[in-house]
Structure 1
Amino acid sequence: MINFPRYSFASLFICLIFVGIVYPFIPKLITQNILLKGSFSILLIASVYIFSHNKKALIICLVLAIPTALSTWLSIISGAPALAIVDNATNVVFFLYVIFELIKIIFSASVVTRNIIYGAMSIYLLLGIMWAFVYALLDLLIVDAFGGIGYQSAHDLSQFIYFSYVTLTTLGYGDMVPLARPVQSIAAMEAITGQFFLTILVARLVGMHISQASNGDS
C-alpha cells in the first residue's frame, strides 16, 4: 500500500474549497487578486506536500512548482501580458501533473479510507482549476474568446474558475459563454472529462468498497 502523509489530501481539499468557493465571497478590493494568487501559492505547497513520500514525483513537482510560483508573482508585479501567458501556461502544466499523479495514487489504492475520498474530491476540484487556467490562457491568446453579460474584458482569473466549474458540472451557460471555436471545443472536452471522471471514479470506489467488505466477511 502506498504511504503518503496522513492529512495531505485533507489539507489540499481545504485549499481547493477556499480557492473555488470561499474566495468569491470576499469583497472586491485592490488586494483581491494578490489574495487569490497567494491562495494559489499555498495550493502549490499543499500539492507538493502530497508527494513527500515519493522522491521522483516530489522532484518533478518541485521543478514544475518553482517556475509556476515565480511566474505567478512576476506577472502581478510587472503586469506584462507575456508574463501572464507564461503564468497561466505553467499553472496548466503543474496542475495537470498533480492530477495525473493523484489519479495514480487513488486508483492504485486497495482500501477506501477518508484520505482516499478527500483525494478523489480534490482531483475533481483540481480539474476545474486546471481548466480555468486553460481558459485564462485562451482569453489572452484569442480575440473575443468569451462573451456574455457576465464576462469582464479585464483579465480576471476568478471568472474563469466560475466558468470552468459551470462547464465541468455541465450546469449550463447563461451569463458567460465561449464564442471562439477553439474555446467551444475545449469547453466540450472539459464537460466530457468531468462526466467520464465521475463515472469511472464512482465505479472504482464502489468496487474497492465491495472488495473491502468481502475480505472483511471472509
Structure 2
Amino acid sequence: MINFPRYSFASLFICLIFVGIVYPFIPKLVTQNILLKASFSILLVSSVYIFSHNKKALVICLLLAIPTAISSWLAIIRDVPEIVLILDNATNVVFFLYVIFELIKIIFSASVVTRNIIYGAMSIYLLLGIMWAFVYALLDLLIIDAFGGSSYQSAHDLSQFIYFSYVTLTTLGYGDMMPLAGPVQSIAAMEAITGQFFLTILVARLVGMHISQTTNGNG
C-alpha cells in the first residue's frame, strides 16, 4: 500500500520551474553557477521533504541527498579534479532517478485526480529533464567529443545540458547542440522515447482516473 504525502507537490514543481525555465534568463555572471548550485540544493531539500510521510523513502532519500549536496558544492571549486565532477553528476543521476521512481509510485497508485496529483505528474516530467541533463554532463566528461554544435561550450556548463535535455525530452530538436558519439546518441534517443511514453501513459492514467472519479460521483 502506498502512503501519500502530507505536503503538496507544488513547492517541488516551483523549484523545478526555476531551475529549468527561469534560471537561463539570469545573466552570465560569476555568481550564476553558485546560484544554480543553490537552487539545486533547495530542490534536494524539497524532494526529501516530499517523502517525510514515508520513513523508508525518507531515509533512502537522505542517504542519497547528503553526498549529492556535498559533491555539488565541491564541484564549483576552481581547478577541482575531474573525478569530483564525475562524482557530482553521478550522485545527482542516482538521487533524481530515485525521486522519480518514488513519485511515479505515488502518482500511479492514486485513484482520484487532485490538484496535488497534477502537480506531481508535472514534477515527474520536469525531473526527467533534470536527471537526463546530469546523464549528459557525465557522459561528456567520460567520452571524448561527445557533443558538438554552435550551442555547445564545455562539460562544466550544466545549463547547456539542461537545455539540451528538455529539447530532447520534448522531441523539439533545434540542432544547435547535438550528440556526436554513438553511445550519447543512443541515450538521447532513449530520453526522447521515454518522454513520449511518459506523456502517453500519464494522460491515459489521468483520464482513466477522472472517468472513474466522475462515474463514482454520479453513482
**TM-score, reference length from structure 2:** 0.97
1:4 positional shift: 1.1
- 1:117 corresponds to which residue? 118
Alpha-carbon contact 1:23-1:36 (below 8 Å) kept: yes
Q: Which amino acid aligns with 2:126?
A: L
CA offset digits 1:91-138 (Å, max 9, x no partner)? 000000000000000000111000000000000000000000000000
For residue 76 of structure 2, give the secondary structure of its aligned residue in structure 1. helix
Task: Determine if the alignment matches structure 1 residue 86 to structure 2 residue 96.
Answer: no
- 1:145 corresponds to which residue? 146
Structure 1 unaligned regions, length at least 5: none
Once the two structures are superposed, the pairs formed by residues 1-218 of structure 1 within 5 Å of their partners are: 2-7=3-8, 9-77=9-77, 79-153=80-154, 155-218=156-219
1:2 positional shift: 3.4
Q: Which amino acid aligns with 2:206?
A: L
CA offset digits 1:15-34 (Å, max 9, x no partner)? 00000000000011101001
Alpha-carbon contact 2:147-2:179 (below 8 Å) kept: yes
Structure 2 unaligned regions, length at least 5: none
1:154 positional shift: 5.3
Give the aligned length. Answer: 217
CA offset digits 1:131-159 (Å, max 9, x no partner)? 00000000101110000111113520000
Which aligned segments of 4 or more residues in structure 1 are displaced greater than 3 angstroms?
none
For residue 89 of structure 1, give the secondary structure of its aligned residue in structure 2. helix
Alpha-carbon contact 1:2-1:109 (below 8 Å) kept: no
Alpha-carbon contact 2:137-2:155 (below 8 Å) kept: no
